[in-house]
Structure 1
Amino acid sequence: MTWKVRAIRGATTAAENSVAAIREAVHELLDEIESRNDLDLSEVVNVTFSVTRDLDTVFPAAIARQRAHWQSVPLLDVQQMYVRTDLSFCIRCLIQFNTPDPTFEVRHVYLRQAQTLRPDRSLSEAGLRAATAG
């Protein structure tokens, strides 16, 4: 069996620059990534979070570290490069993980206003329900 490193991308937006809003957005994003990808956290190599410069009240990694089974996952926070036209209050993540399954279908997650970043990877609520039901 050959293991391979794969990656899951995700992004969302916080409602405002507050601990509560960032916490809500990070939990929602990670919940969706875990559920859509059947992610085994023991196989995660590392997770990098990036945030736009208008989010500076809490580290997303500190929020993720409080989740069940995330205490031993290597986490890193960085500031996203500033681009004048970038989405405000945006949180992005890159999860690298090992898998023995070469056919593992990665499902990237783009929520809230971050759906505009990758409309080809975003599912509407109706589309998500249809995709998970079938």
Structure 2
Amino acid sequence: MGWRVRAIRGATTVSENSVAAIREAVHELLDELEAHNRLDMEEVVSVTFSVTRDLDAIFPAAIARERPNWSNVPLLDVQQMHVEGSLPRCIRLLIHFNTPNPAIEIYHPYLRQAKNLRPDWTLAQAALTSK
């Protein structure tokens, strides 16, 4: 089988709408993503960050662009659709990447309060990291 596009989802929350809090959460999310996925940044097609409407202190993509090997990755920030009662101060990401191994195991990092968004994946990720 040849190359295929795959995707990684992830999310985290921040304690407050500040540059420092958002920077800390984005770095933590991307550290977790990179630690558990064999991701070659040359194979990344694009990364979309979405934030809830209560976060506007800084763009998550600007933070990602500061990281080694992320400067040439196409990055986009968007505002998450607001749904009454949804998780506040949340940052989500969606990464599309090319891979010659379509069966590659993917770790989807859901951190902090965002673990509640996908409890099914949170349990699966715990099993994956304990291997």
Do these two structures clear the TM 0.5 threshold for a shared fold by scoring above it? yes
Equivalent residue for 2:129?
Answer: 132
TM-score, normalization by structure 1: 0.92
Equivalent residue for 2:26?
Answer: 26
Structure 1: gaps of 5 or more residues: none
TM-score, normalization by structure 2: 0.94
- Please tell me whether residue 47 in structure 1 is matched to residue 47 in structure 2: yes
Give structure 1 regions of 4+ aligned residues with deviation exceeding 4 angstroms. Answer: none
Between the two proteins, the alignment pairs up a number of residues equal to 131
Deviates more, 1:32-41 or 1:12-21: 32-41
Alpha-carbon distance, 1:18 to partner: 0.2
Measure, in 1, the Cα distance between the counterparts of 2:68 and 2:123. Answer: 26
**Superposition RMSD on alpha carbons, in Å?**
1.6
Structure 2: gaps of 5 or more residues: none
Measure, in 2, the Cα distance between the counterparts of 1:105 and 1:131. Answer: 9
Alpha-carbon distance, 1:94 to partner: 0.0
Paired residues of 2:14 and 2:25 also in contact (CA < 8 A)? yes
Q: Deviations over 1:9-40 (max 9, x none)?
A: 00000111000000000000011111111211
Alpha-carbon distance, 1:132 to partner: 3.2
Measure, in 1, the Cα distance between the counterparts of 2:109 and 2:59. Answer: 20
In the alignment, residue 129 of structure 2 is paired with which amino acid?
T
Equivalent residue for 2:38?
Answer: 38
Q: Deviations over 1:93-117 (max 9, x none)?
A: 0000000002111111100000000
Equivalent residue for 1:76?
Answer: 76
Measure, in 2, the Cα distance between the counterparts of 1:132 and 1:55. Answer: 30
